[in-house]
Amino acid sequence: MTDDGKPTLGIGMVGYSFMGAAHSQAWRSAPSFFDVPVVPVLRALGGRNAEAAGEVARRFGWESVETDWRQLVARDDVELVDVCTPGDTHAEIAIAALEAGKHVLCEKPLANTVEEAEAMVAAAEKAADSGVRSLVGFTYRRVPAIALARQLVADGRIGRIYHVRAQYLQDWISDPEAPLSWRLQKDRAGSGALGDIGAHVIDLTQHITGERITGVSAMLETFVKERPVPSSFSGPLGTTGGTLPSSAEKRASAERGPVTVDDAAVFMARFTGGALASFEATRFASGRKNAIRIEINGANGSLAFDFEDMNVLQVHDHTVDPRLGGFTRVLVTEPSHPYVEGWWPPGHLLGYEHAFTHQAVDLLTAIAGGTDPAPSFADGLVVQRILAAVEESAAANSAWTEVPV
Amino acid sequence: MTDDGKPTLGIGMVGYSFMGAAHSQAWRSAPSFFDVPVVPVLRALGGRNAEAAGEVARRFGWESVETDWRQLVARDDVELVDVCTPGDTHAEIAIAALEAGKHVLCEKPLANTVEEAEAMVAAAEKAADSGVRSLVGFTYRRVPAIALARQLVADGRIGRIYHVRAQYLQDWISDPEAPLSWRLQKDRAGSGALGDIGAHVIDLTQHITGERITGVSAMLETFVKERPVPSSFSGPLGTTGGTLPSSAEKRASAERGPVTVDDAAVFMARFTGGALASFEATRFASGRKNAIRIEINGANGSLAFDFEDMNVLQVHDHTVDPRLGGFTRVLVTEPSHPYVEGWWPPGHLLGYEHAFTHQAVDLLTAIAGGTDPAPSFADGLVVQRILAAVEESAAANSAWTEVPV
Amino acid sequence: MTDDGKPTLGIGMVGYSFMGAAHSQAWRSAPSFFDVPVVPVLRALGGRNAEAAGEVARRFGWESVETDWRQLVARDDVELVDVCTPGDTHAEIAIAALEAGKHVLCEKPLANTVEEAEAMVAAAEKAADSGVRSLVGFTYRRVPAIALARQLVADGRIGRIYHVRAQYLQDWISDPEAPLSWRLQKDRAGSGALGDIGAHVIDLTQHITGERITGVSAMLETFVKERPVPSSFSGPLGTTGGTLPSSAEKRASAERGPVTVDDAAVFMARFTGGALASFEATRFASGRKNAIRIEINGANGSLAFDFEDMNVLQVHDHTVDPRLGGFTRVLVTEPSHPYVEGWWPPGHLLGYEHAFTHQAVDLLTAIAGGTDPAPSFADGLVVQRILAAVEESAAANSAWTEVPV
Amino acid sequence: MTDDGKPTLGIGMVGYSFMGAAHSQAWRSAPSFFDVPVVPVLRALGGRNAEAAGEVARRFGWESVETDWRQLVARDDVELVDVCTPGDTHAEIAIAALEAGKHVLCEKPLANTVEEAEAMVAAAEKAADSGVRSLVGFTYRRVPAIALARQLVADGRIGRIYHVRAQYLQDWISDPEAPLSWRLQKDRAGSGALGDIGAHVIDLTQHITGERITGVSAMLETFVKERPVPSSFSGPLGTTGGTLPSSAEKRASAERGPVTVDDAAVFMARFTGGALASFEATRFASGRKNAIRIEINGANGSLAFDFEDMNVLQVHDHTVDPRLGGFTRVLVTEPSHPYVEGWWPPGHLLGYEHAFTHQAVDLLTAIAGGTDPAPSFADGLVVQRILAAVEESAAANSAWTEVPV
């Protein structure tokens, strides 16, 4: 309990790299900027490298370090386990935590395979019976402009949806000499651009529209088949964000190894309401750094978003007089916009990591309120099944592949 | 021969609506703004409705009107036949003109079927032996920003191409009560958004990249199956642009008839160099009026274009220091830019119809110089085969469909 | 009278360079795209250089050439005199034409001095008693987005105006080695950036707001005091647009001469309704080619325009829910937008010279209807007085200088 | 000393509202994301309202609260005093702190009068002899895009500067019924838009160009002379940012009081290098929320910045072939950009408050290194003198007013 009588929640986080930093800042900022009903306490940071983990713990105020994630999960003062490790370890850690009665926040994608994801959903649903909450970290849902987009669709302002256009464009390996990061290894990363960043736009488009993808036709491509092996290739325990290799991974050697994941994924889909959709995820779009671009065209209006201008939602109202029609550049920084009231006055922009704070706030609120937060592990499984369908279609010469809804 | 001793070329144009106006202005403007080697003379305008055709002829300075296109083709003073009619009449008129030894400018798409297009190519190639020239009107190639894009690729500034992203977005029938224009009738229009506007982005992406599409996987959709029949449904002879019904067609009646073409086409493709491509053509993108959007990502750089800001080409040079990298908004109005020197000083923008003047200039120059202009009828057939492959794939549940290269 | 019984109007144009081309195309296009009540006939082109003028006449279809403008004015078949010469000749030609009972279209600025402008107004007002019409060519008023801006203010959508922000930015002499064009000579051009391009934004802001400027405080600067004298410095008779020297003028010699006009003007102003205004006109804004940028902030809304994206008007409605507020990018290509119906379907952009056609249409309509067109010579005098006040203030160390309203 | 042997620095902050939150987050984030040589410890938060200050202290981890700022300054464990109160209290608190041998970070504007600012500079210079450091919080200097702009000028990429164009546009009191905040009271705030936000663009333009303003000609205006008095008008101790009243201040009553500061300031200036400059600061630009817009035009290139897209710097290189010239949208999120390496991968945007962290890092680094940080109090005085010159000019009918350099 805090000085002012608020209950606390002990957090244990596994992984401490890119996502670890984002999550640490979020746990710390949530009670500073929002009136959360339960206050997180940064109990333990888990990492195999005690020194490196210790440094991150000191920087962000974690009370202690655990070099074995099982010890972290077992601690009585850890009530929530935050899984920030690569995808191949998600299932094991998350299931163990759920079985130990700990709430779980698991980074995306939920798992590297549908089977793992199914096991995680089963564990989450069983744990939910005892009031244990779980959330998968499709954090971009909580960018205010994205949250506003969903509200506008739900309000009927877009109407019947005809088109969905979604791209996640990066360029960090368009250089053929970029090193063979763990993200380019199928056994660690599960897939390449598809699972790392394509998963985000799959989730976001379903989240905004409130609809589901029913089938896909897909192409995957690995443009550069072999790359230099980094001199130090152990790979950090904790990097799971949608982005760059650490500088350690950047030190290349003369040795070359095979890239075993996709560099880019392009696929078409249909949504439950009949919309035609076009998807793309790539790390070869030179000049685009983190361009999550989503467009929705409906009978009553349209929406457009680009993460490279993340505080803006472009909104077209198709019901107004065409003389004044067009896309309105809504700067999503008003107090009436989702999540904004906790922060700054209008026009004072938010950045990348703020959505992690929103995620922490929503999860803490759900835990305190005894409700299930979203996106659930089941939502994560939905994405996993679509990823699997994309891979299946691509392997079958782009044959149309249904997704079980 | 003109006063100053230049040779002339007698033009006969069939069709007088939207495209007729654009072509008329082009024939007239070409010798005003450019130093053309042969001066077009507007001899005859062909249209079944003598009164309506006469009005257009008077407005643009056509010397005479012919109500039977065969008469027009037969006239000795007509040396070039400009075909601006709907697609179902292209083959007949163009072949007759070529056989009569007349140069031919034929609006796009070349024809409504691959068979017709093949016959037209055969006629064009035979006529070429006698020095008769033919051109298909993929006019957007001659928008200066597009022409610059092609130059930059050819110069090696983009490098190996990884991604092509092309959309042609309009919204003029997103209203379900928009009337059943001839453009929504398969027998007149051949196809819907696919052939009318999708054909443009198919041609443009191949033109800019200098590569060819090798296969496609496609979806077609007709969102609104029945529409009000216009009270006056004869349909103008001459409207063939990628756009709106005439106001006459807008007068709806209570009667409804079936829409027999696609409202939207979404398809994926591969290019000869290995690039993954994503295409979309739709008349249901509310808020987008004539958004021809093309992006190319290559190893050395990227390009982005949007016709709604048509004087601009966005250029990213991936070889510069990232500290100064990004997309440069090149205002394509410098004297060193393609076609610009004929017009105004820098910053004085060009509009939609200027590309038609550029087309006329290039065609007149080719005729005078005894060279073959591009795009040829064979280039038009290439597009036609891709359109056919898209329809075939869509009918086969998006099965991958090779395009004969 | 035309074939279809419309009356005609004989046009005589003096000057044949940049503005001459723009006006020629306008006279020719007006009856093609608009249903004008009187049809212009291109009777005579006036230019001292018979060969050069003859070439332009041939290109644009002028029936004849006059090397002495007095002969042109005197011709019975010339009913309207279009003055496209440099500013130092406007008064003499326009007054002579008015006295000869000819309608006059005079390029801007109306004159090089207030005194000349006053004489022109007197002549115009006297001639008006006999039904002779006169118009000064502030052509940008007739760019559709600008015309829409004026409508929105008049409709009350902007409310009380607090701020006006106007810039006309070019960069064509930011290179100190750019040659000493006639535009840089006070005796020919009257002033530099101030009168050439500043005059436009002075007129436009008053036109859009429906208010007048009441006083100014100003700075003028000549950054580069001496420039290379062009090898051929006769100067064309007819260049009066707001832009570049001809390529002839670009051939520099070793000799240098003094620049006797301003390179840039920056001034503040107040409007009759109390708004604070900020103005800038410069030829030294590197990277800006023809950036006429106007912003209006009012109690109910705001407007923003940039000629480098001239088909767009940014409109902010301050009365809507801030959750959906922001600037709407209105693509001013709808049939309901000013002047657009004559041209193409939505999304098919217009270019620089289209506004000249709109000007011709409005002038022809006023002549046929017996009404006074705007902007009148008196409106031109208003601008001239503000230009004079700016020069007076700049000469007096930026002292506040009232403008007689 | 921290666990890993780093020295610490005890921070005492006076004020706890908008700026208090931004500074708290900055002190906490500095050692998390950057390798600072000395680690700040949040010792004491000063505020007259113990309860409100206690709540903020709890949220951000301040160890204690002081209701009397003199007690805070006197504490041995407070080594740096961070002044976040309204401008009328800056001088007293800052001078007391400096005299007590404490480093001082003082929010902008440095003071409400030149006299106060001079006294503060004297105190700072005297304290500097004993190694005491002081900094004035012109935080926007440390937005990465702004810092990059300064680097590019210093690198010679812009060349001789011809034009500076700077605006700070907000709209939060364009509604005449917005309440009479303390920011609208001359005795508390010193001035209105001029000092609150105009001060920022004065500082930024001098910072970026490395030049100084030598004189001004100005207009000030109070559009709305009376406003509703808020029901609770005590005013928070600590709000000093450039923005909105607290929600407490928004509760209006029937009573009305006079607005005693400017609503808007428009002024012209000259820079030491001869550039013409145009400035504007207003709270009446409807639709603009926090639009800090700066453009610099030089002989070799141009820069453009807008805080509403704060991660972007538009850069034009005027020395490249015009065929490829234009403004490049540099997304300032590369590791090679100023301050970025501490944060996220490319394309992951920063927000408003990150610049406060950069300010903390730079100040801590200067203190540890024994160097003087910038902007110094003397730099703050420079701005103060320009603000005074603006007021003097405005009061003298815009007479040109020299600024002592």
Is C184 in contact with C173 (CB distance < 8 Å)? yes
pLDDT of residue B404: 85
C5: left (phi over 0), alpha (psi -120 to 50) or beta: left
The DSSP result for D9-32, as a single string, is EEEEEE--SHHHHHHHHHHHHHHH
Residue among C244, C310, C347 whose CB faces B289 most closely: C347
CB-based contact, B348 to chain C, within 8 Å = yes
pLDDT of residue B242: 33
The DSSP result for A198-262, as a single string, is IHHHHHHHHHHHT--EEEEEEEEE-S--EEEEESS-S--SS--SSSPPPHHHH-EEEEEEE--S-
10 Å CB burial of residue A225 (0-12, 13-18, 19+) is exposed
pLDDT of residue D236: 35
Rounded to whole angstroms, the Cα distance separating D315 from A65 reads 46
**In the block, which residue shows the tokens 């503040």?**
C268
Domain B142-350+383-395 has CATH 3.30.360.10: yes
Residue among A323, A329, A346 whose CB faces C327 most closely: A329
B324: nearest CA in chain A? A287
Order of strands across the sheet that contains A39-46: A64-66, A39-46, A8-14, A80-83, A103-107, A134-137
Q: Decide if pLDDT at B142 tops 90.
A: yes
Residue among A165, A287, A316 whose CB faces B318 most closely: A287
Strand segments (E) across C251-362: 252-258, 264-271, 276-282, 291-298, 301-306, 312-317, 327-331
Domain ranges of chain B: 8-140, 142-350+383-395
pLDDT of residue B248: 44
- Per-residue pLDDT tens over the stretch A103-141: 999 999 899 999 999 999 999 999 999 999 999 999 999
| D109 preceded by a cis bond (ω within 30 of 0) | yes
Q: Decide if pLDDT at C352 tops 90.
A: yes
Is C352 in contact with A337 (CB distance < 8 Å)? no
pLDDT confidence bin for C253, thresholds 50/70/90: low
Interface test with D, best of B148, B153, B305, B323 (most D CBs within 10 A): B323
**In the block, which residue shows the tokens 């644009």?**
C60
CB-based contact, C8 to chain B, within 8 Å = no
Cβ-Cβ contacts under 8 Å between B and D: the total is 50
Q: Given an 8 Å threshold on Cβ–Cβ distance, is B270 in contact with A219?
A: yes
Cα of D338 to nearest chain A Cα, Å: 16
The DSSP result for B313-329, as a single string, is EEEEETTS-GGG-SEEE
Interface test with C, best of D168, D173, D213, D297 (most C CBs within 10 A): D297
Is D26 in contact with D353 (CB distance < 8 Å)? yes
Cβ-based contacts of C24 with chain B (< 8 Å): 32
10 Å CB burial of residue D131 (0-12, 13-18, 19+) is exposed
pLDDT confidence bin for B282, thresholds 50/70/90: very high
10 Å CB burial of residue C74 (0-12, 13-18, 19+) is middle
Cβ-based contacts of A286 with chain B (< 8 Å): 162, 297-302, 316, 318
Mean pLDDT on D371-394: 98
Cα of D266 to nearest chain B Cα, Å: 29
pLDDT of residue A240: 34
Q: Given an 8 Å threshold on Cβ–Cβ distance, is C241 in contact with B29?
A: no
Q: Which two tokens stand for residue B307?
A: 């016709």
- Per-residue pLDDT tens over the stretch B34-48: 999 999 999 999 999
Cβ-based contacts of B325 with chain A (< 8 Å): 287
- Per-residue pLDDT tens over the stretch A295-313: 999 999 999 999 999 999 9
pLDDT confidence bin for B1, thresholds 50/70/90: confident
- Per-residue pLDDT tens over the stretch D355-365: 999 999 999 99
Backbone φ, ψ for residue B46 (5° rounding)? -100, 130
Q: What is the mean pLDDT of chain D?
A: 93
Q: Given an 8 Å threshold on Cβ–Cβ distance, is D322 in contact with B346?
A: yes
Is B193 in contact with B263 (CB distance < 8 Å)? yes
Q: Given an 8 Å threshold on Cβ–Cβ distance, is B243 in contact with C348?
A: yes
Q: Decide if pLDDT at D251 tops 60.
A: no
Per CATH, the architecture of A8-140 is what? 3-Layer(aba) Sandwich (3.40)
Rounded to whole angstroms, the Cα distance separating B399 from D271 reads 67
pLDDT of residue D254: 77
Q: Given an 8 Å threshold on Cβ–Cβ distance, is B344 in contact with C352?
A: yes
* Helix or strand run (H / E) with residue D165: strand D161-169
CB-based contact, D302 to chain C, within 8 Å = yes
Q: Given an 8 Å threshold on Cβ–Cβ distance, is D330 in contact with B325?
A: yes
- Per-residue pLDDT tens over the stretch C127-172: 999 999 999 999 999 999 999 999 999 999 999 999 999 999 999 9
Residue among A317, A324, A336 whose CB faces C323 most closely: A336
Please give the single-letter amino acid code of residue D206: Q
Rounded to whole angstroms, the Cα distance separating A109 from A87 reads 7
Cα of D205 to nearest chain A Cα, Å: 20
Rounded to whole angstroms, the Cα distance separating B197 from A223 reads 30
Mean pLDDT on D273-287: 98
pLDDT of residue D404: 85
Rounded to whole angstroms, the Cα distance separating D179 from D251 reads 7
Residue among C25, C58, C345 whose CB faces B244 most closely: C345
Rounded to whole angstroms, the Cα distance separating A192 from A204 reads 18
Is C41 in contact with C1 (CB distance < 8 Å)? no
Q: Decide if pLDDT at C235 tops 70.
A: no
In angstroms, the Cα distances linking D287 to C83, C295, D290 are: 42, 11, 9
Mean pLDDT on D104-123: 96
Chain C (263-282) residues lying within 8 Å, Cβ to Cβ, of chain D: 264, 266-268, 270, 274, 276-278, 280, 282
Neighbours of chain C (3+ CB pairs under 8 A): A, B, D
Rounded to whole angstroms, the Cα distance separating C383 from C389 reads 10
Mean pLDDT on C260-277: 98
B315: nearest CA in chain D? D324
pLDDT of residue A381: 98
CB-based contact, D55 to chain A, within 8 Å = yes
pLDDT confidence bin for B364, thresholds 50/70/90: very high
Is D269 in contact with D213 (CB distance < 8 Å)? yes
CA D172 and chain centroid, separation: 18
Eight-class DSSP state of B245:
P
- Per-residue pLDDT tens over the stretch C50-84: 999 999 999 999 999 999 999 999 999 999 999 99
pLDDT confidence bin for B275, thresholds 50/70/90: very high
Neighbours of chain A (3+ CB pairs under 8 A): B, C, D
- What percent of chain D stands above pLDDT 90? 89
* Helix or strand run (H / E) with residue B253: strand B252-258
All residue ranges of chain A with pLDDT < 50 are: 233-250
Q: Given an 8 Å threshold on Cβ–Cβ distance, is A347 in contact with D310?
A: no
Chain C (145-204) residues lying within 8 Å, Cβ to Cβ, of chain A: 148
Q: Given an 8 Å threshold on Cβ–Cβ distance, is B337 in contact with D323?
A: yes
- Per-residue pLDDT tens over the stretch D46-76: 999 999 999 999 999 999 999 999 999 999 9
pLDDT confidence bin for D182, thresholds 50/70/90: confident
Q: Decide if pLDDT at D246 tops 80.
A: no
Mean pLDDT on D393-402: 98
Q: Which two tokens stand for residue B331?
A: 């205002």
B242: nearest CA in chain C? C345
In CATH terms, are C8-140 and C142-350+383-395 the same topology? no
CB-based contact, A315 to chain C, within 8 Å = yes
pLDDT of residue D3: 74
Q: How open is the CA angle D145-D148-D152, to the nearest 5 degrees? A: 135
Cβ-based contacts of D269 with chain C (< 8 Å): none
pLDDT of residue C240: 34
Is A244 in contact with A250 (CB distance < 8 Å)? no
Q: Decide if pLDDT at C248 tops 60.
A: no
Backbone φ, ψ for residue B399 (5° rounding)? -60, 140
Interface test with D, best of B324, B339, B340, B341 (most D CBs within 10 A): B324
Q: Given an 8 Å threshold on Cβ–Cβ distance, is D32 in contact with A25?
A: yes
Cβ-based contacts of B267 with chain A (< 8 Å): 268
Q: Given an 8 Å threshold on Cβ–Cβ distance, is D350 in contact with A352?
A: yes
| Residues forming a β-bridge with B35 | none
Cα of D297 to nearest chain C Cα, Å: 5
Q: Given an 8 Å threshold on Cβ–Cβ distance, is B289 in contact with C333?
A: yes
CB-based contact, D58 to chain A, within 8 Å = yes
Q: pTM to 2 decimals?
A: 0.95
Interface test with D, best of A337, A348, A353, A357 (most D CBs within 10 A): A348
